A and B are shown apart, each in its own frame.
Chain A
Amino acid sequence: MRPRFFIAEALRSIRANAAISTAATVTVLIAVFILGAFIPSFLYVQSTVDAQKEKVDINVFISDSATVQQVNGLSSNLTGLQEQGLVREFTFVSKDDALADLRQRLRDPSILEELPSNPLPASFNVLPADPEQSEQIVAEVEDHPAVDEELGVRFAADTADRLLTAARIIQWAGLALIGILLIASVLLIGNTIRLSIFARRREVEVMKLVGATNWFIRWPFVIEGVLCGIAGAALAVVLLLVIKLAVVDAWIADADSALTRNDAATIGFVWLAVLLVAAGAVVGALGSGITLRRFLRV
């Protein structure tokens, strides 16, 4: 194959069909722009939810009457669960720790001085490996004799549930949307290229009649699609960069620390740009490659 010839043919055809090439490029520009705005937003929400998931913990309250052996037994049960991979980590919180913790959180700790004795129970604070398995961990430990009968084992079942559902919905909806966007842009660019090929079907027919193979005809079209795809994606990236610098970065700088401090890792702009331009190229190649198939049966 002679790439120089095919590239020259593609450029000739872009020049000869400037209007349609522009339409294809603008199509990719719009699709990639939406994709480029959506991916970081999706990742931001996703990682925020993930960060919340990390904080789902289980408190196993220990009865004041439990013996040291019973507490040790519970502790080794938890170690067992850790070895099974259910528990990520757990820490023992003594009665004194609990009181110190409470003292820190109260605006006016002096009221604690009034207490005749420490009413707070000791506990194990357990972080599940996977928050979805919290119920299972609870079931494993709640009947242990060291566990306080009244307080038992607690975790924010409701919050956790809602959080997990939200996480799942965001994940699937996000992936579905990205998929739909990609398919839509393949179809859109395919449609635009179909116009171009339809206008040139006689040309394709003649090429076949003088002995061109299908790939000989297809390469320039595919390269044309790739060039339009890359051009459209590159323009979208420039547009996204302008918006990022002018709007989003300024907004983040203005927002209060709760927002900026977040550990939400989104995606680096360079990687996003590379990803989008690659997506533009693939979409362009697929769009023209698939569309051309119908016209090659001469």
Chain B
Amino acid sequence: MKQEIIKKDAWDIVMKARANNRPVGRHYIDAMFDEFIELHGDRLYGDDRALIGGLATLDGIPVTVIAQHKGSSLEERVSVNFGMAHPEGYRKSMRLMKQAEKFHRPVICIIDTNGAYPGIGAEERGQGTAIADNLFQLSSLKTPVISIIIGEGGSGGALALSLGDHLIMLENSIFSVITPEGCATILYKDASKAEEVARHLKLTSDDLMGFGLIDSIIKEPKEFTKDTMSDLVSVLKKEIVEKIYELIKLDTDELVIRRQEKHLANAGV
């Protein structure tokens, strides 16, 4: 049988990754995990609703869940700041990762954000510092970390949850250094060139796989909504559970060295 290879357009994928009816963070928590209990707050300033944290079981395995959440209804989207976290979000994720390390509990990160929020308070409370601290801590976190990009992997705000042992992208998700609009504005002072720029940024799951930066791509159904996500969730769950069984057996020092070497090997030079 001849396999038909269709080269997908990057801009179409950007649109799919951002589609309003695409499943968001909370949908994955509901569909993938059992016994979820939410844990709020960063213990420093507040609770960022753009990032949901908590404990749950995955096929009976206790795990820490950290999920960026864009919201579904317009009302909810506004209330979670469209999934753009403040420093409190990244400090909450850091707190829960540290806690997971203490109990040697695997961490599952669900990534979906246009980027960390660019605001006055966010800057004053150290947005850069919060992301930098996440990356630094993940560099040597002594428990397995598995990350999945379900929609938008927007620059540093997404990267902060991606420095783990295993990175999965959904077929029509993206991972980019900057939004195509932002890039077009800086380079051409014209956001309408975003479509063209998207093709140059190499932000699709195929591109990332080509660079060797991700471990797997999971196929999406044609119409991908929370009502059609169950098959995808089964595949995703199976892959994560298998990975956890593999990673949890490693000596923690070995786990950390493996993670470090994996990322250091992505020199790109």
Chain B binds chain A: no
